[in-house]
Amino acid sequence: MALMLFSVTPALAQRYFHADVESKTVHDRKMTVKGKSLYYTRGGSLNILWTSGKDSYYSVTSPFGFTELYYPATNEKVTLDPQMYKASDELLWIFAEGHGADLGMNYSGFILKSSRKDGSNTVRTYVPSKGGGVCTRVELVLDRDALPVYCAYFNKKGKVITKTYLSRYISVKGFTFPTRVTEISWLKEKNDSTVTLDLYRNLEVDAPTPMHAFGIPPGATVVDMKEGLKAAAKKAK
């Protein structure tokens, strides 16, 4: 009998993740380019340095799901409604928390309905555990290595409302992650699409930095959420 040894990281082990992201979005024949640097401590906070327009700002999302924005130029902070932004919105978080195999379908409240082979790929169909939402079905395609390479969301009429392509997977210290993600969405307008290309660079694992422990200065001025977001939108132009 052959003895096979596997290197297994404990499920609750604290790990550190970092990646820089360049996002290019095309909508209505206009392209915008934004950047962000993500710093995530598993079981801890997700800290992000956002760069959009002339100014940059920070966000801190606690393990309990609360997110605060901090603008160093004015020393102001804004607390977001928990529904406006979640750590699970970030692909890095999904993979770091071990939900990458199904792109967070189960975590997001979807259940597996069927699975079939398509050549060397596997096609899985998920449906929401609760009805009433815009999406009624999700198709997820895994390659021969069981890595997600395509995902499509369908509405009640059976039309695709969002589809995502994932490629250029790399592995760092046992952590496998896609570094090129293209999303095409028809949610904003029925007859036009929004295309977003996310390029992940400088992926680091288990290399803690000061940004992993970043905290908003206690003396920051609290600003109303609506007013703070309006001011941020003006700065980004």
Instruction: Evaluate if residue 1 carries a pLDDT over 60.
Output: no
User: 177 in a domain, yes or no?
Assistant: yes
User: 3 in a domain, yes or no?
Assistant: no
pLDDT of residue 229: 63
Per the structure, the complete domain to which residue 184 belongs is given by 16-236
- Average pLDDT on 229-235 reads 59
Token match 């969301």: residue?
A: 153
User: 109 in a domain, yes or no?
Assistant: yes
User: 9 in a domain, yes or no?
Assistant: no
User: 231 in a domain, yes or no?
Assistant: yes
Chain segment 115-142, per-residue pLDDT in tens: 999 999 999 999 999 877 889 999 999 9
User: 2 in a domain, yes or no?
Assistant: no
What pTM value is reported for the model?
0.88
Q: Return the CATH number at 45.
A: 2.50.20
User: 217 in a domain, yes or no?
Assistant: yes
User: 10 in a domain, yes or no?
Assistant: no
pLDDT of residue 6: 31
- With bands split at pLDDT 50, 70 and 90, how would you rate the model's confidence at 10? very low
What are the CA-CA distances from residue 2 to residues 5, 7, 39 (Å)? 10, 16, 40
Instruction: Evaluate if residue 235 carries a pLDDT over 60.
Output: no
Query: For residues 3 and 171, which has the higher predicted lDDT (pLDDT)?
Result: 171
pLDDT of residue 202: 98
- With bands split at pLDDT 50, 70 and 90, how would you rate the model's confidence at 3? very low
Instruction: Evaluate if residue 230 carries a pLDDT over 70.
Output: no
Residue 21, both tokens? 């992201």
The 10 Å Cβ neighbour count of residue 226 is 9
For the chain, what is the domain count?
1
